[in-house]
Amino acid sequence: MTLNTDQIQLRDPFVLVQEEEKCYYLFGSTDANIWKGEATGFDCYRSEDLNRWEGPIAAFRPSPDFWSPTNYWAPEVHSFRGRCYMFATFGHDNPEVRRGTAILVADTPEGPYIPHSDGPVTPREWECLDGTLHVDRSGAPWMVFCHEWVQATDGKVCAVRLTEDLSRAAGPPVELFTASSAPWVDPVQSAKHGTGYVTDGPFAYRAQNGTLLMLWASFRNGRYAQGVARSTTGSITGPWEQNPEPLYEADGGHGMIFRDLNSTLWLTLHTPNDTPNERAVFIELEEKAGTLQVKN
């Protein structure tokens, strides 16, 4: 089946660029209702122009003994040392089993993916989500993730060093920043969890001048929004400074950045933040002195 981008219900979009195949793979949270009920898995789509997509392709389907039955969120696929690694959030109906990011692996972008880590790589006692791969300047792999506001109240973006085979954490997590450290972020309220500050969807991006930036999402004026932070040292451990205004605030977020086959710089995120109406959109960006802005 061939679909236009606006025909695909998808949250948390992630694009893997395949230069050898001259194509793109689009991943995301693809269950019709990701919030409750038994999860199906993750689908992906293949395109040569970022507009018309072949799919859905079943990238991951859980085996009967897979540890998580629900809340399959935000799959990212990264090429690392010759294989494809999927970082994805998984939940559980048992409140004693915390939501977290696990790592899966496949030999091709479309999968099928199988478990690589032994359950979540994030701390087992934390409510976590949205893990992403960052490889530092020395070639060492890290996972950046969110310690979720529903447990932490002031949501946090954290990083943890991974083992060289990406199978587990190689040390304790490091807190990078909190949601309330950004002047543009407003609190959210929940009958179950009270008042807090959200961190979602971190994504590390190295600008052409070497500046290390972090995309992440939260809420402003009651709507989902996409912010940017900057590492003052160029290192993943920071310190991090927040841009005073969001990059995008029209009820969209959980974005990532990529260069297409023509080297054009794109931000993709989902908007509106409303199931089942969410869709991936592509917004052209430009860099200026290590900062990002939407291209006019």
SS3 for 142-189, per residue? EEEEEECHHHHCECEEEEEEECCCCCCECCCCEEEEEHHHCCCCCCEE
**Closest listed residue to residue 269, CA positions, set 52, 1, 14:** 14
Q: 141-180: per-residue pLDDT in tens? A: 999 999 999 999 999 999 999 999 999 999 999 999 999 9
Handedness of CA 202, 126, 124, 95 (dihedral sign): negative
Q: What is the CA radius of gyration of the chain?
A: 18
pLDDT of residue 38: 96
User: Measured between alpha carbons, how far apart are the two ends of the chain, in Å?
Assistant: 34
* CATH code for the domain defined by 2-294: 2.115.10.20
Spatial distance between the Cα atoms of 231 and 229, rounded to a whole number of angstroms: 7
Q: What is the pLDDT of residues 207-238, one digit of tens each?
A: 999 999 999 999 999 999 999 999 999 999 99
Name the nearest CA neighbour of 89 among 43, 34, 156. Answer: 34
Gap between the Cα atoms of 203 and 44, Å rounded: 19
Place of tokens 């932490």: 152
Is pLDDT above 90 for 296?
no
- Residue 258's identity, in one-letter code, is F
Nearest 10 degrees: Cα torsion 200, 206, 211, 217 = -10
Give me 24's structure tokens: 């793109």
Angle at 136 between CA 131 and CA 139, to 5 degrees: 110
Q: What is the pLDDT of residue 195?
A: 97
For residues 189-218, one letter each, b for 16 or more C-beta atoms within 10 angstroms of the residue's C-beta and e for the rest, the string is eeeeeeebbbbbbbbbbbbeeebbbbbbbb
How far is it, in rounded angstroms, from Cα 151 to Cα 86?
25
Where do we find the tokens 């070639």? 139
**Confidence band for 112, pLDDT divided at 50, 70 and 90:** very high
Residue 137 scores a pLDDT above 90: yes
pLDDT at 196 over 90: yes
Report residue 140 as tokens. Answer: 């060492």
Mean pLDDT of all residues belonging to the chain: 97
- Per-residue pLDDT, averaged over 197-212, amounts to 98
In contact, 188 and 195? CB cutoff 8 Å: yes
**pLDDT for the residue numbered 207:** 97
Q: What is the dihedral of CA 80, 288, 261, 86, to 10 degrees?
A: 30
